[in-house]
Amino acid sequence: MQYRPYPRGVSDLVDFGEGKLPWVHLGGSEGASQFTTHDGASILAELRGRTIFEGDEGRQNVVGWFESDHGSYRWLNDLVCIAEGLISGTTGEMVIDVYAGIHKMQA
């Protein structure tokens, strides 16, 4: 995948396991990034959440959305991700569980 930061805010690099993803902070704990898949699709990812530290460990609550107009990835537009995680304040190591909510109501 090729990554590029969404064009606003202050950029940072976040490691998502497959390499570092340029991440743009939109303010507070909000962020967004746009990336290109192996088949040329453009996908926008946007996250909002918070981390609450108690001592050296932080509890994370995150909500995420994706957008794409590419036919193979339009299903992402109906997806809401909810995540919970822990982050070490000393090492920066993060463990996060992500759950997907998929819109299934009939119009």
For 101, the 3-state DSSP assignment is strand
pTM value? 0.62
Domain presence at residue 55? yes
Domain presence at residue 107? no
Domain presence at residue 25? yes
What gap in Å lies between CA 32 and CA 21, rounded to an integer?
10
Domain presence at residue 77? yes
pLDDT score recorded for residue 71 = 93
Domain presence at residue 18? yes
| Residues 35-77: tens digit of each pLDDT | 888 888 888 888 888 888 888 998 888 899 989 999 999 988 9
Q: Which residue has the tokens 């690099």?
A: 13
Number of domains, the chain: 1
What gap in Å lies between CA 90 and CA 5, rounded to an integer?
26
Tell me which residue range forms the domain holding 54: 2-102
pLDDT score recorded for residue 6 = 40
